[in-house]
Amino acid sequence: MDSNKTPPPDDVAAFSDVLSHSKHILVLSGAGLSAASGIPTFRDAGGLWRKYDVRTLATPQAWGENQSRVWQFYHYRREIALKVQPNAAHVAIAKLSIPTFREKVAPNADFTHVTQNIDGLFTRAYSDVLASLPESEQGTTAVAPLESFFFEMHGRLFDVECTAHDCKHREMIMTSPICPGLAGTELLVEEGTERVVRRADLPRCSQCGQLARPGVVWFGEKPHRVQDIMDLAKQADLCIIVGTSSIVQPASRIGGIVKEHGGKVAVFNVDRSNHDDEADFLFLGPCEVLLPQVLH
Ligand code: BV8
Ligand code: ZN
């Protein structure tokens, strides 16, 4: 971003007016959405992992070279994500997905949420918001099934995928630890105390017993449902970009596609971020404070 240029306006009234007239809202979220919950943003992974550029760990190459290290990296992040809760920003976005809440601020709009995050916190926030609805509202068809509007384009931390080409079984495993072989490795925060976990002691596929990998999209791998997401970006008339440095592609292209097709873009971030000078609105501050203020 060209931070010499005047930043886009942070006019809440103007944003609310755009929101109230929008027909297709697309929220794009990144690691900053979960920061307040206690999950380090992608570049701030702590502990043993501070000595690695995490982008070199989240690759098929790293997996090919050192499955023990890659699994310890994901086990470390699983153990953090299992201990934290969704925050007010997750709830504010989750409420936008519920018609009775959404119609107060955007009466004519439908809603899509694309996340780059793999931590599962939005899914938990959505089910918490659903559970808080009066019984009469919970089962109505108006409340769309999560998978119809929520896209986890970089996969899920708690999914595992079989590495056997003729199996590829995928399942969600929420247990802590995911397997005995990784137990306690999340506590190895001192440099150089990395353990070598034998391949036989790494997570296995429950169907065929072969080695399982983390169910996430690594750099160089194709994100999930990219074409659907880009088609939705072309139809969106308001894109709300929350807590992302907007560096990783193709996610970072979504705001530009919305603009190219006549839509408006609002960025919510504690800091300046890539392409934010092209946005129509820029709200600088913690999303867990700002989103509940401007979305309801
Ligand atoms: C693909 C899962 C093609 C794994 C992730 C050279 C140039 C350009 C592009 C490339 C290139 N070389 C390679 C590429 C492509 C590459 C890419 O974009 N690389 C980058 C590094 C340049 N992209 C890919 O490889 C993608 N695949 O292109 O495939 C293809 C097509 C067809 C067939 C085959 C292949 C795959 C990308 C997905 C990688 N996996 N995650 C894991 O997590 O371990 S990406 C990972 O990093 C995260 O998921 C996330 O997306 C990303 C980090 O980004 P952010 O979420 O933005 O987090 P970050 O820490 O950067 O920023 C946090 C922000 O929050 C900050 O701005 C901060 O200010 C803000 N914040 C903090 N606190 C708050 C806050 N804001 C508000 N409130 C707060 N409280
Ligand atoms: Zn298998």
Q: What is the mean pLDDT of residues 100-105?
A: 94
Q: Which atom of ligand 1 is nearest to the CA of 77?
A: 44
Percent of the chain residues past pLDDT 70, beyond the cut: 93
User: How much distance in Å is there from the Cα of 97 to the middle of ligand 1?
Assistant: 24
Q: Would you say residue 106 has pLDDT above 90?
A: yes
Helices (H), 106-199: 121-131, 135-138, 146-149
**145 vs 57: CA distance, rounded Å:** 33
Q: What is the mean pLDDT of residues 95-113?
A: 95
**91 vs 142: CA distance, rounded Å:** 19
**ipTM of the complex model:** 0.96
Dump pLDDT digits (tens) for 243-292.
999 999 999 999 999 999 999 999 999 999 999 999 999 999 999 999 99
What are the phi and psi torsion angles at 20 (to 5°)?
-70, -20
Q: Which atom of ligand 1 is nearest to the CA of 268?
A: 77
Ligand 1 binding residues, C-beta < 6 A: 30-32, 35-36, 41-43, 55, 58, 116, 118, 154, 216-223, 243-245, 247-251, 268-271, 273, 286-288
Give yes or no: 154 in active site. Answer: yes
**275 vs 286: CA distance, rounded Å:** 19
pLDDT for res 232: 98
Instruction: Give this prediction's pTM.
Output: 0.96
pLDDT for res 5: 75
Q: In what order do the strands lie in the sheet with 155-162?
A: 170-172, 155-162, 212-216
**14 vs 124: CA distance, rounded Å:** 31
Residue 82's nearest CA partner among 115, 54, 31, 124 is: 124
Q: What is the mean pLDDT of residues 20-49?
A: 87
> If you take atom 3 of ligand 1, which residue's CA is the nearest one?
222
Q: Which atom of ligand 1 is nearest to the CA of 245?
A: 67
